[in-house]
Structure 1
Amino acid sequence: MYVEQGFKGLHEWWRYIVGLVIVVIGVIIGQMPFGLAVIIKMKMMGDTPQQLDQTQMLAILDSNLGLFLMLLTFAAGLGALFLVVKFLHHLSLKQLTTSRPKIDWKRVFFIFLLWGIISSGFILIEYWMAPEDYVLNFKPLQFAVLCLIAIIMIPLQTAFEEYLFRGYLMQGIGVIFKNKWLPLLITSVTFGLLHIANPEVDKLGYTILVYYIGTGFFLGIMTLMDEGLELSLGFHAANNLFTALLVTADWTAFQTYSVLKDVSEPGKTGLFEIFIPVFVVFPILLFILSKRYKWTNWKDKLFGQVIEPQQTGSIDELGQST
Structure 2
Amino acid sequence: MYIEQAYKGLTDAWRYIIGGAIIFVAWQVIGMIPLGIAIFIKVAEGGEIAMDIPGMVSLLGENLFLFLMLISFAVGLIGVFVSSKLLHKLSIKDLTTTRRKIDWKRFWYIFILWGVVSSIFVLIDYYFITPEDYVWNFEMKPFLILLAIGVCLLPLQTSFEEYAFRGYGMHFLGTLFKNRWLPLVITSVAFGLLHIFNPEVKQLGYVIMVYYIGTGLFLGIITLMDDGLELALGFHAANNLFTALLVTADWTALQTHSILKDISDPAEMALTEIFVPVFIIFPILLFILSKKYGWTNWKDKLLGPVVEPPNEDYKIIGEE
Residues 30 and 75 in structure 2, CA contact (< 8 A), matched pair in contact too: yes
Say whether 1:42 aligns with 2:43: yes
- Spell out, residue by residue over 1:216-257, the C-alpha distance to the aligned partner (whole angstroms, 9 max, x if none): 000000000000000000000000000000000111101111
The answer to which of 266-275 and 298-307 deviates more is 266-275
Shift of 1:47: 4.1
Partner of 1:155: 155
Instruction: Tell whether 2:236 aligns with 1:212.
Output: no
Q: Does residue 4 of structure 2 align to residue 4 of structure 1?
A: yes
Please name the residue that 2:167 is paired with. Answer: 167
Equivalent residue letter for 1:65: L
State the match for 1:57 in structure 2.
56
Is residue 69 from structure 1 mapped to residue 92 from structure 2 by the alignment?
A: no
The answer for unaligned runs of 5 or more in structure 1 is: 316-322
Report the CA distance between 1:311 and its aligned residue.
Answer: 2.7
Offset from partner CA, 1:135-173 (integer Å, 9 cap, x none): 111000111111010001000000000000000001111
Unaligned runs of 5+ in 2: 315-320
Whole-angstrom distance in 2 between the partners of 1:181 and 1:246: 35
> d(CA) in 1 for partners of 2:53 and 2:89?
35
1:91-150 CA distances to partner (integer Å, 9 max, x unpaired)? 000000000111000000000000001111111122121111111110001111110100
Output aligned runs, 1:117-266, within 5 Å: 117-128=116-127, 129-266=129-266
Is 1:112 the equivalent of 2:104?
Answer: no
Deviates more, 1:137-146 or 1:124-133: 124-133
CA distance in 2, matches of 1:206, 1:263: 21
Question: Using the alignment, how far apart are the partners of 1:40 and 1:75 within structure 2?
Answer: 23
Task: Give the secondary-structure state (helix, strand or coil) at the position aligned to 2:268.
Answer: coil
Percentage of pairs with the same residue: 61
Counterparts of 1:85-104 in structure 2, within 5 Å, are: 85-104=84-103
The answer as to whether partners of 2:114 and 2:239 remain within 8 angstroms in 1 is yes
| Matched position secondary structure for 1:268 | helix
Matched letter for residue 121 of structure 2:
F
Q: 1:289 corresponds to which residue? A: 289
Distance 1:74 1:22 in 2: 13
Query: Mean Cα displacement is larger for which, 28-37 or 159-168?
Result: 28-37
Alpha-carbon deviations, 1:66-103, whole Å to 9, x = none?
A: 11000001001001111000001100000000001110
May I ask how many residue pairs the two structures share in their alignment? 312
Q: Read off the aligned partner of 1:209 and give its amino acid letter.
A: M
Secondary structure of 1:252's partner?
coil
Question: Normalising by structure 2, what TM-score?
Answer: 0.95
Shift of 1:4: 0.2
Give per-residue Cα distances to partners, 1:255-303, cap 9 Å, x unaligned. Answer: 1110001111112121011000000000010000000000000000000
**Which stretches of structure 1, 4 residues or longer, exceed 2 Å deviation after superposition?**
none
**Alpha-carbon distance in 1 for matches of 2:250, 2:264:** 10
Q: Secondary structure at the match of 1:277?
A: helix
The one-letter code sitting in structure 1 at the alignment partner of 2:147 is C
- Give the TM-score of the pair, scaled to structure 1: 0.95
Query: Structure 1, residues 173-200: CA drift from partner, whole Å, max 9, x if none?
Result: 1011110000000000110111101001
Matched position secondary structure for 1:254:
coil
Return the letter of the residue paired with 2:260.
L
| Higher deviation after alignment, 54-63 or 112-121 | 54-63
Q: How far apart in 2 are the matches of 1:234 and 1:122?
A: 18
Q: Which amino acid aligns with 1:177?
A: F
Supply the AA of the counterpart residue of 1:43. A
1-structure distance, mates of 2:34, 2:54: 16
Distance 1:78 1:109 in 2: 20
Alignment root-mean-square deviation, CA = 1.3
Deviation for aligned residue 1:55: 2.4
Contact 2:50 2:56 in 1 (8 A): no
Q: Hey, what's the Cα distance between the residues in 1 that align with 2:227 and 2:310?
A: 20
Secondary structure of the residue that 1:197 maps to in structure 2? coil
Distance 1:249-1:51 versus aligned 2 partners, 3 A rule: closer
Change (3 A) 1:79 1:59: same
Q: Distance in 2 between matches of 1:9 and 1:176?
A: 14
CA shift for structure 1 position 54? 2.4
The aligned counterpart of 1:303 is 303
Offset, 1:22 = 0.6
